[in-house]
Amino acid sequence: MVSIEEIVRRKEKIAVVGLGYVGLPLAAAFGKKVDVIGFEIHPGKVKELESGYDATGELTREDLENTAIGYTTNPADLKLADFIIVTVPTPIDENNNPDLSPMEKASETIGQNLKKGAIIVYESTVYPGVTEDICVPILEQESGLKCGIDFKVGYSPERINPGDKVHTVEKIMKVVSGMDEETLEIVAQVYELVITAGVHRASSIKVAEAAKVIENTQRDLNIALINELALIFNKLDIPTMDVLAAAGTKWNFLKFTPGLVGGHCIGVDPYYLTHKAEQIGYLPQVILAGRRINDGMGKYVAENTVKQMIKAGKVIKGSRVLILGLTFKEDVPDIRNTKVVDIVAELKDYEIEVLIHDPLANPAEARHEYGVELFELSAVGKVDAVIYAVSHKEFAGMSAQTFAGYCMNGHGKGVVMDVKSVLNRDEIEKAGMTYWSL
């Protein structure tokens, strides 16, 4: 069985499978104290990390230099690991069903190279039961070993917040679980090596899995409520942010704001929970209603862009719209499940030319994932409207006059769509443009 003393003495190794937004910061934290194997299936990513570059932007060159990770793409290296942490993506498919193939493939690889006595801890977001009912049988089949006798499993939901330099992995309390009391204690002790905020010992693996999916489901529903209120207030011609500012003066009012809900957590996790609920014969109502509202916000923004352009005297067919930001949230390069593409798709249905600028997103990735091109601002030219979709720090210095300089195409007033509700309405309107926000 894994020994925390042997890990600290570097006699036993920790392996992290998947070096993305979740796995890399965790591996780096462990790499400051113990021996770490960083397994990644993409050779290009390993080369970048070995050269000191993290494409996710989570770690700096200095961060990577100050940790010791043995990067590898060779599955056989996992045979050296006594404690394996799995941090692969868990996306949804085009029908909003959980796609567990990364988890299954990771389990196959680990099973084929599993050391007797090892502990495997999954961190990827799943619905209750995936670790024990889906992953464990794969591990047993591929390894020929028996769970509970030859190896043990646990679950510790990831809590990484991409782009957040304050709430880093070490400073966020970690939920841990194990298949039995002995495993739970070892898992807790391993994470306590690096998690200064402490750990919470969940009563079972299924409890820990469920805790993860409801964390983001709760946020999703709160944002859905505010988005629905924004739809109502816009029809009433009442500024949503003014209403929220007034209501927010009460001590127990939850301060959420309207917007696009994408990414690989809030916009995905609820579907894992509803999928499991439907499997056991319960049709979720509130959760799916919130998902429908949030999934429809991109289309809503696009439709209102067209309405505002018509009111401003613009000819829609052939008009040009600049979208600022493609990533799913500010100050990160991650474009997974971004809802900005919903705005793009809807505008193109109106035969509008859409130009997207994002200084953080990877142009090749944007082209591959969504078939969209990214433009430098110098190549945009004049447009009829600007949609401020993502509030990157790089956009903070853009003034009303900057927007006015772009919005000089053809007849009619320029239109500024402030999805993030961060621009100054008075300044935009004084500059001769039409302003709209959620």
Residues catalogued as catalytic: 265
For 330, phi then psi, to 5°, come to: -70, 145
Cα–Cα dist 353/16, whole Å: 44
The tokens 């209120």 sit on which residue? 229
Distance CA 148, CA 38 (A): 25
Q: Is 31 left (phi over 0), alpha (psi -120 to 50) or beta?
A: alpha
CA angle at 296 for the pair 238 and 163, rounded to the nearest 5°:
90
Which amino acid, 277?
A: A
Do 382 and 321 form a contact (C-beta atoms < 8 A)? no
**What is d(CA 212, CA 214) in angstroms, rounded to the nearest whole number?**
6
How far apart are alpha carbons 4 and 195 in whole angstroms? 15
The number of residues making up the chain comes to: 438
Helix 297-311 vs helix 286-295: crossing angle, to nearest 10: 40
